[in-house]
Amino acid sequence: MAQLLQHLINGLAAGTIYALVALGYTMVYGVLKLINFAHGDVMMVGVYMGYATAFVLGREARSSLLGVALIFAVAMLGCALLGFLIERFAYRPLREKPRLTALITAIGISFALSYGFQLDIGFLPGASPRAFPEVIEPTEWLIIGDRDVVVWNWQVISFLIAVALMVGLQYLVFRTRFGRAMRAVSWDHRVAALMGIPTDRVIALTFMLGSALAAGAGLLYAIKDTSVSPLMGLYVGLKAFVAAVIGGIGHVPGAVVGALVLGLVEEFVVGYAASTWRDAVAFGFLILVLLVKPGGLFGRVAAEKV
Amino acid sequence: MSEAQVKTLGERRAFPPLLAVDGIKVHYGAIQALKGVSLTVGKGEVVALIGANGAGKTSTLRAVSGMLKPSAGRITLDGKDTTNLKAHQLVPRGMAHAPEGRGVFPNLTVQENLELGAYLRKDTAAVQEDMEKGFTLFPVLKERRRQLAGTLSGGEQQMLAIARALLSRPQLLLLDEPSLGLAPQVTETIFRTLREVNATGVSVLLVEQNAHLALNSAHYGYVLETGEVVMAGPGRALLDSPEVRRAYLGE
């Protein structure tokens, strides 16, 4: 029983990280109908920005509250800028082109970032993984029984942040003027422009927001896993993408639920079967969900009305 | 060059100038959709653009509202050159365009669609008033304000598109095929509203396949054929002309 509870907690914690990355995926898809395959790699760049900031701050400063805030701020602002540049120079010129062109470009950017960061010249970090410095000291937040079940502080913090961001995003999209503009652009950006909506700006801001979210998620992941590598974005990004599709891509709460479900599925496979089966079951689960509900758990397959 | 071939009928009633389109050309890749179209719309005037499918009616509207950039020619609104302005920059200058087909946002509620029509306006109280006016014009929209626009019937969507366009308080309203696919009664409602709107001083540039309906409601009309204006005249005069009767009224 205690074991089950512990797996439940670990699964939710893993799912939380997927959820934070999946939120950015799903938001960009919601507005642009573009699967931004570079999203995970933007996250990776954010983690390195946080890593560099932590390094510059030094042992003392980085574990203070102000230090942690600064690490997150630098990574999130830096990624917002990166997201802006990617949208401006890679995606915007292709907006009127077939969707496949933008998709292939996204994959290209993904590889450019993940393999570019393996170079060992200048500020680039090189291929070998590095240990992310300890910024939040892990403490046991809750212990049940004789260490049968342990809940760590970072698990609780990540979970609360993910839920808060989901609620915040849902509010932004459905209750604000900017959110209305986002949804209008999502349907048809040419018609949205006829309302006086500056569509380029709305799309750029959406990208910046999604990229900043990715950086925040990546830092929480790195703090948990204490490891940073140029390829981490490919892996986490793919899992987050799967989570977003399971939930119904474009659907904000769906991304979070999909991610939590995926995290739980993986954890139970690792706990009760074999860890080597984890990814196979994760993708098998995706196929199963899509067979039963092609639009994902919350998505609707809209019939095109003509 | 194409100017010379325009056959002009009758006397045009004088309106103060508002929109002047001068020899615009539009290309889609290698295909030339507009080969130099010129037309004007006065303040308070209703102008109809008629012609067969593919004559360039929609392209003309799109160029005027900034959805398309013409490759040649000049567009002025209220005396200012707007040829190179984008669609969202024309809205604050009094341009409203209710496009054909997917004109409304089906993923948003009726209310949200209307709010987007007033996207750039900061005078919340007046927007509220204008929204009520829109509901008076089309009471069915009030009943359905909480519904997703995608669940409305074709006629209701057209009403929504017009009500939404009016919420930006335009001086020039561009309407693309407002009667397309609608029952005669609904079409009648829409054209009655159009006259009411025009009576408040809003100019209208109207594209219609239904030439009879369009020319009856318009002060002035232009006939487009394969990307060129071939004929122009007061609505009545065009209705009476044998060429128009033969080609567009099925006689």
pLDDT (tens digit per residue) in B188-236: 988 999 999 999 999 999 998 888 999 999 999 999 999 999 999 999 9
Q: How far is CA B11 from CA B8, B220, B221, B227, B234, in A?
A: 9, 10, 12, 24, 7
**Nearest residue of A to residue B104 by CA position?**
A191
The domain ranges of chain A are: 2-292
Q: Cα distance from B143 to chain A (closest Cα, Å)? A: 21
Best CA proximity match to A91, nearest among A174, A227, A189? A189
Best CA proximity match to A216, nearest among A168, A171, A170, A178? A168
Chain B residues inside the 8 Å CB shell of A195? 88, 91, 116-117, 119, 164, 168
Average pLDDT, chain B: 91
Q: How far is Cα B68 from Cα B146, in angstroms, rounded to an integer?
A: 33
Q: How far is Cα B186 from Cα B155, in angstroms, rounded to an integer?
A: 6
Confidence of residue A302 (pLDDT cuts 50, 70, 90): low
What is the tens place of the pLDDT at every residue in A13-72?
889 889 989 998 899 898 888 889 999 999 999 999 999 999 899 888 888 889 989 999
What CATH class is the domain A2-292? mainly alpha
Q: How far is Cα B32 from Cα B227, in angstroms, rounded to an integer?
A: 8
Which DSSP letter does residue B185 get? H
Q: Pick A193's closest partner by Cβ from B87, B105, B164.
A: B87
- What is the number of CB-based contacts under 8 A between chain A and chain B? 66
Q: How far is Cα A95 from Cα B114, in angstroms, rounded to an integer?
A: 27
Residue reference for tokens 């987007």: B116
What is the tens place of the pLDDT at every residue in A80-113?
999 999 999 999 999 888 889 999 999 999 999 9
- Between CA B202 and CA B95, with CA B35 as vertex, the angle to 5 degrees is 20
- What integer pLDDT is reported at residue A305 of this predicted model? 41
Q: How far is Cα B26 from Cα B63, in angstroms, rounded to an integer?
A: 8
Q: How far is Cα B95 from Cα A37, in angstroms, rounded to an integer?
A: 38
Chain A residues inside the 8 Å CB shell of B87? 190, 193-194
Q: Pick A184's closest partner by Cβ from B65, B91, B116.
A: B116
Residues 6+ apart with CB under 8 A from B144: B110, B151, B152, B156
pTM: 0.88
Q: Which two tokens stand for residue A128?
A: 């070998």
The ipTM of this complex is: 0.91
Q: How many Å is the Cα radius of gyration of chain A?
A: 19
Hey, is the C-beta of A195 within 8 angstroms of any chain B C-beta? Answer: yes
What is the tens place of the pLDDT at every residue in B76-102?
999 999 999 999 999 999 999 999 876
Q: Cα distance from A187 to chain B (closest Cα, Å)? A: 7
Q: Is the dihedral of CA B145, B150, B155, B157 positive or negative?
A: positive
Residues 6+ apart with CB under 8 A from B118: B127, B130, B131, B167, B168
What is the tens place of the pLDDT at every residue in B46-67?
999 999 888 999 999 999 999 9
Residues 159-188 of B with CB under 8 A from A: 164, 168
Longest distance between any two alpha carbons in chain A, whole Å: 65
pLDDT(B5) > 80:
no
Q: Count the alpha carbons within 13 Å of A45 in the hemisphere toward its beta carbon.
A: 27
Which DSSP letter does residue A38 get? T
Strands B203-208 and B220-225: unpaired
Q: How far is Cα A26 from Cα A134, in angstroms, rounded to an integer?
A: 30
Q: Report the pLDDT averaged over residues B150-178.
A: 93
Q: Residue B155 belongs to what H/E stretch?
A: helix B154-166
Phi, psi for B226 (deg, rounded to 5): 35, 55
Whether residue B86 and residue A193 make contact (CB cut-off 8 A), yes or no, is yes
Q: Residue A117 belongs to what H/E stretch?
A: none
Phi, psi for A97 (deg, rounded to 5): -85, 165
Q: Cα distance from A194 to chain B (closest Cα, Å)? A: 6
Q: Which two tokens stand for residue B65?
A: 């509202």
Q: Which two tokens stand for residue B199?
A: 């009576």
Q: How far is Cα A15 from Cα A266, in angstroms, rounded to an integer?
A: 9
In order of start, what are the domains of chain B with their CATH numbers?
Answer: 3-248 (3.40.50.300)
- What integer pLDDT is reported at residue A59 of this predicted model? 83
Hey, is the C-beta of A303 within 8 angstroms of any chain B C-beta? Answer: no
Q: Residue B22 belongs to what H/E stretch?
A: strand B17-28
> Of residues B3 and A293, which shows the higher confidence score?
A293
Q: How far is Cα B247 from Cα B251, in angstroms, rounded to an integer?
A: 8
Longest distance between any two alpha carbons in chain B, whole Å: 53
